[in-house]
Structure 1
């Protein structure tokens, strides 16, 4: 890969990793991303979907329209990688690889701009905010993304994976979900505060919350078929202050994942039933507040477009570096860009360096997964692969110069 493409992409990656921004606050990240797209010949429109969403357009004659999507936001995680370019923002980290996705897309657009003689058509680039809260894609589409910039013939995205750096994984069966549907839920349990020395005069919402967390595990272990892919996680329990005070309320944040919308609906209904029952068992003075704050559909990739992109990747990297993968219970809102039958292609980009991979294989420390404080992609291998994978995928779905698709 040309140094002129790789170097600015790497500089962007290091900068964004060191300066992460949470969902809805991605102002600096969006500014850097827009500047790189403009340097590659794109016309950039800001505030698509409100906030910091943006769209770049690179036109090169008549032909298909292909959209490359990347995310802008980081996570509320404290970094423990020890990297020289580690996060400088306390409690915020690019623990899911969005910084690498973003840098790879800028490199791919730069490469496409430099090789205009090999393709025809239009490249759209969507810089999506708020992926971690599963709201950004919906907001961009609600702001007439396709009506304003054209409905793409295909939408492409890739995502970091703790598999060996330099490898790619496509859906083994594009007819089944690659990623799960999901729901995020916020719960408030109402107790009656009081003195820790007189618990009989209070209704302790902390005890109710603890019992609820344990009982919620039965939604998967006892109400879901063992062969069904399903996960229910309570990611946060917040309550109280001083040890000698029983608080009035306790809050839970939970997420549900399954491979179909009906399964998610069933699990959300079961969670609501359990929350209400535990509150009743504790004698809570009020019904709980139970709010679904976000939903995301299952990710189904398009069979024909995925096959075409996978062939391009196999030709570029060799079949030994391109594999198939089954359904995952991770989730994200990329699936929304397939609304109305728009073909989507999505693959996983391995980012684990050879050393950590060998040590884990030989019984050493496990490879840190996405969302872990130690998650540290091997950018030297993963970034060039990500750039080449995205550029080759886009070029395969655009029109060849002087020919037809």
Structure 2
């Protein structure tokens, strides 16, 4: 039987629409996803861009209230922007209404102040370690060269966002320490540096699963393995290094009270339609949308099909890895590619993110994929 299939949602804002509608679309998609047999519905945290999931935990509560069975969670709460207590209390509040359905995913994107000097430095002064320049293909899975962050056209907006989200003088604890704090607050074993015991109310004892997210074979993957936590690898964002993240996680894994064996979720970007040509039409605009992120301006409103000019060679060069690894086509086409990704990574679950301009096209994409993956059949069994 196929592994479970889940959804990652950014609550994208389409050109001509607004954040209010994007949020309503997310809740609507979650209701359908539950009916179609998807296992989880996760929401991503992004700020100061044209996606509406910035207050991720608030939206998780709305999705949980609108559904009955599907697991709901974060992919991921950027821990450096929040105190551990605030995260646990918020999840504990939602769990009080919807016990046993929440996944608390933690990411370290916000723990990047150490990178600011590098990002602020002139491109000519940045160290650029040698990397391969050509795609490799592993059993049908494209693994492009890892993306070099120094290629960002303009990092000033990213730096400004970090400055706005983290108060002047504030310093987030190391990511490993913050993960330990979250677990201790959930367990009821948290103490301050001076030995004072504190208890999260609500939060302590909440039936929440803690996950870590990563896109390379670095700190997050190794930490998830050492702690014996489930791990999600972001192929959809970092296709050149996410397979390294899976390998690093498994190499570091130690059995724990959470898991006896490693548990891996692998993500992919996909657009499905009745036929390949229609799917390609629905995916138009994706390249410009990704370029808006890597170009330094942040994710723009998702453009309508045929509303953007062809990508220039320079634009395409900055995002070619993402174009090569977006799964676009008829159900059989996309299932074949997703199955190859699952097989190569030996993932226990596949997480799909789909962005189209029209909400109806996004719904149809997920519906067709669920049917082709056999979700309804598996649920009926």
What's the TM-score, normalizing by structure 1?
Answer: 0.31
Larger relative CO (CA 8 A, sep 6+): 1 or 2? 1
Which protein is bigger by CA-based radius of gyration?
Answer: 1
TM-score, normalising length from structure 2? 0.33
